[in-house]
Amino acid sequence: MKKNITRFSILASFFLLFSCNDNNKLTEVVEVPLPTKEEKITIGSPNDVKADPGSFELTKLPFTYDGLSPALRSLTLETHYSKHYLSYTNNLNKEIVSTEFENMPIEDILKKMPLSNLKLRQNAGGYYNHTLYFNILTPKEQTPKDTLAGSINKEFGSFNNLTNQFKGQAEKQFGSGWVWLVVDRYGKLQITTTEDQDNPLMKNALIPGTPILGIDLWEHAYYLDYQNRKGSYIDAFYGHINWEKVNEYYVEALKKVKKV
């Protein structure tokens, strides 16, 4: 089902470009012209978005583009999912064709790939990070339960303490990047940050571990709704975390370090 919405043309030119400079570094270019008029655009369905044939596919979005509105409106979610996430997926599939990584699980690619391969690093990270991001969003507000809730209380003192620390790190993160809740090699919960599309599975991680929750702090995740008010986006995101899914990831991560 497609929906028509009205918005200023300031939104029409918000898009992602990947460019390579002499150092082979990937950058994101965001164009935001001044508004001139109102116009109607059509928002489609996430079910209509398909990656090009390859090793990896998009994770299925379990709600429509307006499912998180007004916290994250339909245009923001549609742009993030069908433009940015799709681009990382298609670019990753192209990068690994006829290489040792073509049939490898994404977690193994991230752990084994050379960090000097910037295209693979950016797109493999972008694919993994966004897959996790969209998997842990939900329209209904939740709080942690079961195994995860007990561990949060034990290791952070309370859910409120975890929330304050996570949001605090997200507020302090300078530039494009991510904030993560990870299970480290000892089975402990820790909060950590990465720049660009890096994540804690990579060789350069400050705190290596398995991510179970991550917030995208690139401007493409929030600028259409919040502009420079990153804190408002962080609050909005936190109110839509699927803690049931995070708990599933937590139990799986504990198994890998043989803590359950």
What residue ranges do the domains of the chain occupy?
Answer: 3-135, 146-256
**Fold agreement between 3-135 and 146-256:** no
Element (H, E) at 191: strand 189-195
Six-digit token string for 138: 């939900």
What is the predicted pLDDT for the residue at 259?
Answer: 65
Contact of 221 with 213, CB cutoff 8 Å: no
Q: What is the predicted pLDDT for the residue at 62?
A: 87
Residues 6+ apart with CB under 8 A from 235: 167
pLDDT at residue 179, as a whole number: 98
Predicted pLDDT at 25: 52
Contact 245, 252 (CB under 8 A): no
pTM over 0.75: yes
Cα angle 92, 203, 178 (rounded to 5 degrees) comes to 65
pLDDT means per 10 residues in the chain (260 residues)? Answer: 48 41 50 51 88 97 95 96 98 97 97 97 98 97 95 97 98 94 97 98 97 97 95 97 98 85
Do residues 94 and 47 lie in contact, with contact meaning Cβ atoms separated by under 8 Å? no
The dotted CATH code for 3-135 is 1.10.287.990
Give pLDDT, residue 11.
40
CATH number given to 146-256:
3.55.40.20
Q: Pairing state of beta strands 18-20 and 38-43?
A: unpaired
Per-residue model confidence (pLDDT) at position 39? 52
Contact 193, 129 (CB under 8 A): no
Residue 162's pLDDT is 98
Query: How far apart are alpha carbons 181 and 196 in whole angstroms?
Result: 17
